[in-house]
Amino acid sequence: MRPARPPTMEMQPPPTAMQGRRSPRPLEESIESWLPISSSRNAKWWYSAFHNVTAMVGAGVLSLPYAMSQLGWEVGVTVLVLLWAITLYTLWQMVEMHECVPGKRFDRYHELGQHAFGERLGLWIVVPQQLVVEVGVNIVYMVTGGTSLKKFHDTVCGDSCTDIKLTYFIMIFASCHFVLSQLPSFHSISGVSLAAAVMSLCYSTIAWVASAHKGRSPDVHYGLRATTAPGKVFGFFGALGDVAFAYAGHNVVLEIQATIPSTPERPSKKPMWKGAIVAYAIVAACYFPASLVGYWAFGNQVNDNVLVSLSKPKWLIALANMMVVVHVIGSYQCRVRDLAAGTSPLYVTSNGLRAGLICSAMT
């Protein structure tokens, strides 16, 4: 018998770097399922509506009559309408870009920036600006919430209660967020966001209905608030800033759309855009009556917060201030989760922190 030939050993090529490296796909999927924005993708179009209302309509609506006093009737109305239309168009652009690459969803702004400018440059362009905007707005919300709590306390108690520093009311407001930030996902704060959207519609309605009920002041004037040329220039740009801040809400558009399911037959942009249209109708119902009626009632002597100009009835002003508090709580939660979702992927693989802990630290 012929002896069996020994099995030949075939030479295998050495593993390449890509073969030897662990595929990042399972890690990316686990991070996506862990982050507060993309962990739940079963939202409906009406979630888009009230999330957008919560993100956009804020206490800034109460300063719109003051902005009108810096601009006058013609320029003021033009600026309000133009910014409403321009921001609606830019929101539509963001909705379309969410799935501009087939099979890919840009759930966060830095991902869209990386697609446009490159992996490294995109981060440096987007993340610093996002941090400045989100942290700055959240600081404003923190102070606004504490200020409204103090106004509620002072209106209800009058001179019979001990005066409490604003700092303590801000701490009370912050303590609410330490609890709410433990909710695991953006979708889990839908009830808070819905309550905030309802409150925004309510207190803006109170502002213009109470102004209309008070009527036009006997000594009202509709000339520009400033009398000097430098004052008019600075007042004009300050009013533009007030109106622009009132329409600020696009920095959470991608994150809101990330919570909506998407299929090739029914992409997420359809229910998202439907909700955005409803949201902008509510924005118009809040902004235009409050700014125009408030300016009509008080003229160029209106306060930077129209509720301050309305001193009576006390119970209604106290209720409106508490509504502002509830709304700012929801707005703060929307933005702090957007901030957590935008920055967490950059260090989550090394730190392994829980989403609630990250949100609490940011709060």
Average pLDDT over residues 305-330: 83
DSSP string, 143-169: HHHHHHHHHHHHHHHTTSS----HHHH
b/e map of 29-42 (b: 16 or more CB within 10 Å)?
eebbebbbbbbbbe
Query: Among the ranges 180-194, 207-221, 276-290, 297-311, which has the highest mean pLDDT value?
Result: 276-290
What is d(CA 110, CA 191) in angstroms, rounded to the nearest whole number? 28
Q: Tell me what percent of the residues of the chain surpass a pLDDT of 70.
A: 80
Taking only the tens place, the pLDDT of each residue in 130-161 is 888 888 888 888 888 898 898 888 888 877 77
| Domain extents in the chain | 42-215+222-362
Lowest mean pLDDT among 67-76, 144-153, 247-256: 247-256
Which CATH code fits 42-215+222-362?
Answer: 1.10.4160.10
Closest CA to 114 of 127, 105, 106, 123: 123
Average pLDDT over residues 168-185: 83
Average pLDDT over residues 244-266: 82
What is d(CA 125, CA 123) in angstroms, rounded to the nearest whole number? 5
Q: Tokens 């009632």 label which residue?
A: 297
Residue 12 has pLDDT above 50, yes or no: no
What is d(CA 249, CA 41) in angstroms, rounded to the nearest whole number? 21
What is d(CA 348, CA 346) in angstroms, rounded to the nearest whole number? 6
CB atoms within 10 A of CB 7: 6
Phi, psi for residue 289 in degrees, rounded to 5: -65, -40
Average pLDDT over residues 4-18: 45
Query: Among the ranges 131-135, 167-171, 315-319, which has the highest mean pLDDT value?
Result: 167-171
Residue 320 has pLDDT above 90, yes or no: no
Average pLDDT over residues 34-52: 70
Residue 21 has pLDDT above 50, yes or no: no
Average pLDDT over residues 73-100: 91
Average pLDDT, the chain: 78
The answer to whether 122 and 268 have CB atoms below 8 angstroms apart is: no
Lowest mean pLDDT among 214-223, 299-308, 330-339: 330-339
What is d(CA 187, CA 203) in angstroms, rounded to the nearest whole number? 25
Average pLDDT over residues 171-177: 88
What is d(CA 340, CA 92) in angstroms, rounded to the nearest whole number? 24
**Banded pLDDT at 34 (limits 50, 70, 90):** very low
Which helix (H) or strand (E) is 306 found in, with range?
helix 306-309
**Banded pLDDT at 360 (limits 50, 70, 90):** very low
**Banded pLDDT at 169 (limits 50, 70, 90):** very high
**Banded pLDDT at 17 (limits 50, 70, 90):** very low
Q: What is the dihedral of CA 81, 85, 90, 91, to 10 degrees?
A: 100
144 residue type, one letter? T
What is d(CA 134, CA 112) in angstroms, rounded to the nearest whole number? 17
Q: What pLDDT is stored for residue 84 in this prediction?
A: 93
13 residue type, one letter? P
The answer to whether 182 and 353 have CB atoms below 8 angstroms apart is: no
| Token digits of residue 184 | 């695991």
Q: What pLDDT is stored for residue 193 in this prediction?
A: 80
CB atoms within 10 A of CB 10: 5
What is d(CA 94, CA 239) in angstroms, rounded to the nearest whole number? 26
Q: Tell me what percent of the residues of the chain surpass a pLDDT of 90.
A: 16
Average pLDDT over residues 195-205: 86
| Token digits of residue 70 | 């810096």
Q: What pLDDT is stored for residue 341 in this prediction?
A: 59
